[in-house]
Structure 1
């Protein structure tokens, strides 16, 4: 299969409409239809069920959509990493570190300061991102290394080094009845708090249905909690950036959060290796 065919197929499978897919791709509809029929003949599989009213995916079509997305992501990652390797070879080395905005603040600052003092240190470009985005940035080649948080992020396919394990706390408005408690349990959060958890966007940017308010970043989250519209369970290190209008209550039986530094196993970057060594040391 050609990359062009995969792009064509993904557009049709996501839009479930040949006209919209052709417009998205910037081509006419007839050659797009021919390309999809040719792909089906080559694979000896029906990928799309077509009727006068709708286009739907077959089981085989759903498999190809998943695999095609992964293949296209891998191609884009290879292109980005190749360009970055060429820059490094031309005497302009740097390393791109992706991390969730508002997370691991003290740890991140110590890592950057300690690494900058190393004799062979290079420039570290930070990508501050939203919930779960640092993993995608590492997989698609936008980042060389990332700080991930278990069990929320997946480290499948990466090499990792554990940096810190910590408990979790409940963030509440300072005026909440539970704000003065020395600790709570997960059942208390469900039964007594009376505030919903925020809803975060998925990979496609959409929000799942639910009672909680929509939140896109750390600043929005803290504002929603301060206004009494939401609560949140977060790693204990969030105390480093605590606002005066928020309360922090330890959650005794919440799962621990482990922060790891992760990088692609095939990386040969000396800058990445140096940054990982520094992270492990501190």
Structure 2
């Protein structure tokens, strides 16, 4: 199969209408129909059910649509990585969530710059789906958290496992407690992260750490966050351990099969810094 054929099929499969798919692709309908028929003959299976003006995917078509999206995404990511590798100023692009590095990032960056062949590190801050930037070829590595992120197609290095705390205003009804449980948060507005569905108990969508802490201070929400956030709290906020919240693991993630020596050195450095921090109880 050719990439062009997968592009054609994906358009038809998503639109379920040859006319709309042809318009989306900037072509006329007859050659698009012929291309899909040729693809079906080559594969030996029907991909679409055609009935009058109705078009539906067969079981085989649904499989090909899923696989086609994966292939097309990989092709786009490969093109982006290739263009970035050919730039005159090569650099390592690292995606982070502000305040989501467990306090490790400054030491990691300092140690990495002493490595032979180290590249300048470009930091991209995002509260959204950072793993998607890796899959799209827009970044080389990302600091993510297990179990909150989809790690499919990524290699990872665990850095730090943390318990979680409830961050709230010092005047909050739970602020005097030494520990809380998740059931204690019933009815409390919680942050809504980019890409997450909005629920009745959720507060505004969060785009950066400053916004989050400001909204907590204004009693617009409370937040369950990794315990390292304590070092960044304002004086009018408190953090209390959440006994039954699942621990989170800060990890470094990168695309499977990556072969960059600079990236490999960054991974080794991050693991070494995290190991020393854990050993000293940091």
User: What range is the shorter-chain TM-score in?
Assistant: 0.7 to 0.9
> 5+ unaligned residues in a row in structure 1: which ranges?
none
Q: Identify if the C-alpha distance between structure 1 residues 29 and 130 changes in structure 2 by more than 3 Å, giving closer, same or farther.
A: farther
Alpha carbon RMSD of aligned pairs, Å? 2.7
1:234 aligns with 2:225: yes
Pair 244,22 (structure 1): closer, same or farther in 2 beyond 3 Å:
farther
- Alpha-carbon spacing, 1:173–1:34, altered in 2? closer, same or farther (3 Å): farther
Q: Deviations over 1:189-224 (max 9, x none)?
A: 23xxx223344444xxxx535212451523454454
**Contact in 1 for aligned 2:127/2:194 (Cα 8 Å):** no
Q: SS state of the match for residue 106, structure 1?
A: coil
Look up the match of 1:73: 73
- Deviation for aligned residue 1:73: 1.5
- Give the C-alpha shift of residue 22 in structure 1: 3.0
Q: CA deviation at 1:51?
A: 4.7
Q: What is residue 39 of structure 1 aligned with on the other side?
A: 39
Counterpart of 2:263 in structure 1 is 272
Of residues 240, 249, 254, the one that matches 1:258 is: 249
Shift of 1:69: 0.9
2:124 maps to 1:124:
no
Where 1:113 maps in the other structure, the secondary structure is: helix
CA distance in 2 between partners of 1:104 and 1:143 (Å): 17
1:163 matched to 2:154? The reply is no
Decide whether the 8 Å contact of 2:170 with 2:238 is kept in 1.
Answer: yes
Count of residue pairs brought into register by the alignment: 271
Counterpart of 2:105? 108
Decide which moves more: 59-68 or 210-219: 210-219
**TM-score, length of structure 1 as denominator length:** 0.82
Q: Does structure 1 retain, via aligned residues, the 8 Å contact 2:147–2:249?
A: yes
Mapped partners of 2:176, 2:53: distance in 1:
59
Give 1:98's match in structure 2, choosing from 85, 95, 99.
95
User: Structure 2: which 5+ runs fail to align?
Assistant: 274-282
Could you tell me how far apart the structure 2 residues matched to 1:56 and 1:175 are?
57
TM-score of the two chains, using structure 2 as the length reference? 0.82
